[in-house]
Amino acid sequence: MRHRSLLVLTTVITTGALTLTACGSRDGGDSKDNGGGKKTTVVIGVDAPLTGSLSALGQGIKNSVDLAAKTANKNNEVPGIEFKVEALDDQAVPASGQANATKLVGNKDVLGVVGPLNSGVAQQMQGVFNSANLAQVSPANTNPALSQGDNWGKGEFKRGFKTYFRTAATDVVQGKFAAQYLFRDAGKKKVFIVDDKQTYGAGLAAIFADEFKKLGGEVVGTDHVTVKETDFSSTADKVKSSGADSVYFGGQYPEGGLLADQIKKTGAVVPLMGGDGIQDPAFISASGEANEGDLATSIGYPVEKLDTAKKFIEDYKTEGYKDPYAAYGGYSYDAGWAVIQAVKAVAAANNGKLPTDARAKVVEALGKVSFEGVTGKVAFDEYGDTTNKQLTVYKVEGGKWVDVKSDTFNQ
């Protein structure tokens, strides 16, 4: 029987080991030292998933921050200071994000960090940055608890981390906006809600459910899916037999695309709606032609339609980055630019030199920045949230995301 127990043992050990392999981390930095002579080097850290299924978004974030740094260097935005970017890969894994945060804190030249993509990763990074007084600006986190505290749902707003800022609007805004659109504009009354149990997905689905019920709609069923799973046919059949006229999905596009596809394959003719996590071309390619009419909200106005973004898009092309700027490129550029502006203000207040407590000063200065960015006006409120509350609903038409309604959200 010796072999048998060895088999059981290896089963257990290797299952554990394989789970751990998802947590490896790899440096993806490709910033170059331009050799700025006597210039002081300021590093802008980037943390995003640079490998794995969300890497398309992560690469877009990295490149956009890189572009912001290059632009600042070229324009001599802050005299005497050369910006460099150090990008770390978190693979969308919270533990890797925390390790990266520690690493960035250890580098004395880092005065601000852009990232991460995922709210769940941000949760693990906030504390590390806060105790080191290092400013963090996320271009993509939408979970309200990150800035407004865990009890935001009960109306108790408390800023937990003074170093945390974001250029993305929160899920409160996004979930409510989605519910109002689905109920009023699309005329759907019976929704089936699915989420992926992650900080972002579950939070968004809960906000949506509350608002949808408040408006008079009915939630006819709920289910949860597991990230990286691909077979949702049983969940799809539950949707069909529930008699729902629409589905709301809180989660990311890899699962969302397959779920939308598998629901349609059961013969149920219902649109699936989600947040900015599914508003990606990969969502459409995941579900063939069957997802015509599926909906998604996303923060801001479509970047391609903004006059302020024309230069960004052009510069991005000129630099010849391998991956597209993706959904958060504009917000990442603005986040990077906000850090640059904060550094500029700190240097200007200290005779053009960086003070010894530069990190703390940058955090203070970030709270006061205000400029016209790629995505519109960039400024932060008392919680570190963006003051920009513009949103857009997108619809899949002819195999593309087409914007159908843009608005500024009011309670």
Judged by the rule CB under 8 A, the positions of this chain that interact with another protein are: 1-4, 6-8, 10-11, 14-15, 17-18, 21-22, 24, 51-56, 59, 194, 197, 222-226, 228-235, 237-238, 241, 254, 257-258, 261, 265-267, 282, 285-288, 323
Tell the smallest beta-carbon distance from residue 271 to another protein (Å): 18
Tokens of 53: 């299924």
Q: E-assigned strands of 18-95?
A: 40-48, 81-89
Single out the residue of 136, 195, 190 nearest to residue 162, CA to CA: 136
Residue 105's H or E segment, with its range, is: helix 94-106
Tokens of 211: 């608002």
Tell the smallest beta-carbon distance from residue 43 to another protein (Å): 26
Is residue 46 within 8 A of residue 62, CB to CB? The reply is yes
Q: Which is nearer to another protein, 95 or 227 (CB)?
A: 227
Tell the smallest beta-carbon distance from residue 30 to another protein (Å): 14
Four-CA torsion 313, 166, 57, 270, nearest 10 degrees: -100
Tell the smallest beta-carbon distance from residue 113 to another protein (Å): 23
Is residue 378 within 8 A of residue 300, CB to CB? The reply is no
What backbone phi and psi angles, to 5 degrees, belong to 142? Answer: -125, -5
Four-CA torsion 309, 310, 313, 318, nearest 10 degrees: -140
Q: How far is CA 142 from the centre of its chain?
A: 7
Tell the smallest beta-carbon distance from residue 96 to another protein (Å): 15
d(CA 24, CA 5): 29
Q: Which is nearer to another protein, 155 or 267 (CB)?
A: 267
Q: Which is nearer to another protein, 19 or 75 (CB)?
A: 19
β-strand pairing of 135-138 with 400-408: unpaired
Tell the smallest beta-carbon distance from residue 49 to another protein (Å): 11
Q: Which is nearer to another protein, 215 or 290 (CB)?
A: 290
Q: Which is nearer to another protein, 305 or 400 (CB)?
A: 400
Q: Which is nearer to another protein, 290 or 313 (CB)?
A: 290
Q: Which is nearer to another protein, 142 or 235 (CB)?
A: 235
Tell the smallest beta-carbon distance from residue 235 to another protein (Å): 5
